[in-house]
A and B are shown apart, each in its own frame.
Chain A
Amino acid sequence: MTTTSNVAAPPATPVPQHRSAARRRTPASMAGAAVKYTLVLLFLIIVLMPAYVLVVTSFKSGSEIGVSGQWDLPERWTTESWAKAWSALRPSFLRTIELAVPVALISSLLGAANGFVLSRWRFPGADVVFTLILFGMFIPYQAVMIPLRDIVTTIGLPPGIPTLIFVHSVYGIPICTLIFRNYYATTVPEDIVEASRVDGAGLLRTFRSVILPVSIPGFVVTIIWQFTSAWNDFLFAIFLSNTRNGPITIALNALAGAQSPDYAAAMAGALITSLPTLVVYILLGRWFIGGLMAGSVKS
């Protein structure tokens, strides 16, 4: 049993319900079903509650945010808080696109190359090397942050987005390597690689003509994963950039972090910040889950 093969077939794939046919309609089973549906609906409401607050509050004007009627629908629906939030976040929104897209592409390419070598072009000690790579995805980044700030300046990376592109790409290598290694190990038969080898094809030609054409699902997963991580990151951003050159999380934190913030604008800002990753999640949910599952390494 493995959760790692889910890159190919994520659990979001509908599984036939074998048991439903066998279920009989006894009073006990109907009571059980009632409890079950009550619970799943209750949890649905609880999980959605913060989303309700975000949406409703964001359409209020800053002056309507008082103590009374906090949970009510706006008396007057207005987009003025959205406009306020957008003007505060727009520059950083664009910068975050400039950050997250290259990060997703660079670390995915490196991850594909590594994953291929570590699964299908193995050398003695490949497992040890793999484990050493993997460790990089678990470390608390504080443990590298102090010298990291100096070293990126020393090697001459411009502050802000270029620095963050580099840093996210490097620390994204472990997870992308893991995803591609598991992907190739489960979807590319060893024989095909071996046959290509026997035919005299070198590593790069095998990678290009045999592996890359079947890699698209793996790329979708790593690109989504890296895009989301870079978009949502706050830790690297706060250590390595500021509100003038940093990504959107920094700008949102500045907008919402004041002692008594304008909650209407802050919540509109939180929605604007979350929109890209939410759209990705809703449209490409099953691949999103594939990346999540890969995070569990093995089971």
Chain B
Amino acid sequence: MTKNLRRWGPGLLLLSPSLILLAVFVYGLIGWTVKVSLSDQHDALGSKGFVGLDNYVYLFTEDINGRFLHSLRNLAVFTVVFMVGTMLTGLLWAFLLERGVRGEGVFRTVYLFPMAVSFVASGVVWRWLMNPSTGERAGGLNAIFQSLHLDFLQSEWWTNPQWGMSAMAMPAIWQLSGYVMALFLAGFRGIPNELREAAAVDGASTFQLYRRVLFPQLTPVALSAVIIIGHMSMKMFDLIMSVSGAQWLTEVPAVYVWQALLTSDYAKAAAISVILLLVVAVVVVPYLVYTDRQEKRA
């Protein structure tokens, strides 16, 4: 026992500041948030009585105008467009560059640069680009479409009540496709060259090479990319605040939390946060367990 302690003790000691901080500030505070979400603390005074799952039931069934369900729908539209958009664009870019392009470094640097910019800063220009006015007063992208005589492409962008959130995903796609590209490029380059050569010896066409040999090798990379993009999408807040501000049309759960806190409705904000956490955890926890197992096998 003392021998083990002497062997492992120092390591644990070095680790302990971080472990204590994370135990308190990640797990402890999550517990606290859960507790608030089960209380009736709906204003700054707060009676703090225990009300069970009432706040959750309220969000799904009684929320005014179905506000929470509306925010979930917005999030769903945003997530689908954002994920499909970044995955396809990123894969296409990686595919194009992987095949050897003169000046590859320049293209890679440019495709990836939006990643270095904050959503708040890029939101400024995207708000301008997605100016919903058309016709005489058209601005931003609509003005470009008009001058190219592509008037039918003019759009209300994010102000469309039905599908506006798919326009909101455009800046996010612009910002993160380069990241997915970088992941896929690393994936392509991790494939041993012998595999390509073997396929060539077997007389595989280029199409077959990608379809049967290379793409299957990229599955783990694609999984990582989906998880990362997916959980970023669930948390999307900065971009929406910057492009549209907090408003009904573009409200997602992360923005709803902020709005609920502005009115000091702590219990409601906490319940939305916990739901958000659960949605992320459902995706991320199996992924973390899976990667841990993969690593042990390796």
Contact of B193 among A18, A37, A132, A293 (CB under 8 A): A18
A140 touches B185 (CB 8 A): no
B294 within 8 A of A: yes
Interface residues of B in 77-133 (CB under 8 A from A): 92-93, 96-97, 99-101, 105, 107-129
Binds A, one of B63-71, B161-169, B238-246: B238-246
| B266: Cβ under 8 A from any A Cβ | yes
Q: Which of B51-59, B149-157, B227-235 contacts A (4 or more CB under 8 A)?
A: B227-235
Given A117-B11, A177-B18, check contact A270 B124 (CB 8 Å).
yes
Q: Does B12 contact A (CB under 8 A)?
A: yes
* Distance in angstroms between the alpha carbons of A173 and B18 in the assembled complex: 7
Are A235 and B237 within 8 A (Cβ)? yes
Minimum distance in angstroms from A271 CB to a CB of chain B: 8
**B159 on the interface (CB 8 Å rule)?**
no
Give B contacts to A, CB under 8 Å: 7-8, 10-12, 14-15, 17-19, 21-22, 25-27, 29-30, 32-33, 36, 92-93, 96-97, 99-101, 105, 107-129, 136-140, 143-144, 147, 174, 178-179, 182-183, 185-187, 189-191, 193, 196, 217, 220-221, 223-225, 228, 231, 234-235, 237-238, 241-242, 245, 254, 257-258, 261, 266, 269-270, 272-274, 276-277, 280-281, 284-285, 287-289, 291-292, 294-296
**25 A-B residue pairings within 8 Å (CB atoms):** A1-B217, A2-B190, A3-B187, A17-B100, A19-B196, A37-B101, A39-B92, A43-B107, A47-B111, A49-B129, A71-B147, A110-B18, A113-B14, A117-B14, A140-B254, A146-B32, A203-B11, A233-B118, A239-B258, A249-B121, A252-B120, A253-B242, A269-B124, A278-B113, A281-B113
Interchain CB contact under 8 A, B277 and A3 = no
In contact, A296 and B224 (Cβ under 8 angstroms): yes
Which among A50-58, A74-82, A156-164 touches the partner chain?
A50-58
Q: How many residues on A have C-beta within 8 angstroms of the other chain's C-beta atoms?
A: 106
Q: Which of B32, B96, B125 contacts A147 (CB 8 A)?
A: B32
Inter-chain contact count A-B, CB under 8 Å?
A: 295
Give complex CA distance A257, B206 in Å: 50
CB pair B18–A133 under 8 Å, yes or no, is yes
- Given the known inter-chain contacts A136-B22, A249-B118, A270-B124, please indicate yes or no for A203 contacting B10, CB distance below 8 A: yes
Whether A235 and B280, one on each chain, are in contact in the complex, defined by CB atoms closer than 8 angstroms, is: no
Which one of B14, B15, B179, B277 has the highest number of Cβ atoms from chain A below 10 Å of its Cβ? B15
Tell whether A295 is near chain B: CB-to-CB under 8 Å: yes
Select A293's contact among B14, B109, B121, B186, beta carbons within 8 Å: B186
Known contacts A1-B191, A267-B125, A270-B122; A70/B245 CB under 8 A: no
Q: Which residues of B sit under 8 angstroms from A288, Cβ to Cβ?
A: 116
Question: How far is the CB of B112 from the nearest CB of chain A, in Å?
Answer: 7
Residue of B nearest to A231 (CB): B118
Smallest CB gap from B23: residue in A: A132
Is there contact, CB below 8 Å, between B129 and A53?
yes
Task: Return the chain A residue nearest B29 by Cβ.
Answer: A144
Report Cα–Cα, A298/B289, bound state, in Å. 11
CB distance B109 to A285 under 8 Å? yes
- Smallest CB separation, A284 vs chain B (Å): 10
Note all chain A residues with C-beta closer than 8 A to B295.
Answer: 127, 298
- Whether, in the assembled complex, A277 has its beta carbon less than 8 Å from a beta carbon of chain B, the answer is yes
Question: Is A171 on the interface with B (CB-CB < 8 A)?
Answer: yes
Name the distance in Å between B107's Cβ and chain A's nearest Cβ: 5
With a CB–CB cut-off of 8 A, which chain B residues contact A54?
A: 124-125
- Residues of chain B within 8 A (CB-CB) of A141 are 235
The interface residues of chain A, by DSSP majority, are classed as helix
Considering the chains assembled together, what is the distance between the CA atoms of A235 and B255 in angstroms? 10
CA distance A12 to B106 in the complex (A): 11
B190 touches A1 (CB 8 A): yes
A228 to B116, CA, bound (A): 7
Tell me, in angstroms, the Cα distance from A240 to B255 when the chains sit together: 16
Is A297 engaged at the interface, CB distance under 8 Å to the other chain? yes
Inter-chain contact A11/B8, CB cutoff 8 Å: no
Question: Considering the chains assembled together, what is the distance between the CA atoms of A20 and B21 in angstroms?
Answer: 52
Report chain A residues within 8 Å CB of B254: 140, 142
Residues of A near B291 (CB, < 8 A) are 297-299
Q: Give every chain A residue within 8 A of B221 (Cβ-Cβ).
A: 3, 296, 299
Residues in B with CB closer than 8 Å to A67 are 136-139, 143
B112 touches A289 (CB 8 A): yes
Given contacts A118-B15, A274-B118, contact A173 B237 (CB under 8 A): no
Residues of chain B contacted by A280 (CB below 8 angstroms): 116
Q: Are A12 and B108 in contact (CB under 8 A)?
A: yes
Q: In the complex, A66 Cα to B284 Cα: how many Å?
A: 47
In contact, A273 and B112 (Cβ under 8 angstroms) = no
Quote the shortest CB–CB distance from A292 to chain B (angstroms).
6
Q: In this complex, which of A43, A228, A293 has the most chain B Cβ atoms within 10 angstroms of its Cβ? A: A43
Provide the residues of chain B in CB contact with A2, threshold 8 Å: 190
Q: How far in angstroms is the closest Cβ of chain B from A212? A: 13
Task: Return chain B residues, CB-CB under 8 Å to A151.
Answer: 29
Q: Say whether A216 faces chain B, with CB atoms less than 8 Å apart.
A: no
Contact assessment for A139 and B118 in the assembled complex, using a CB-CB cutoff below 8 Å: no
Interface string of A118-150 (1 = CB under 8 A from B): 100111100101111111101111111111100
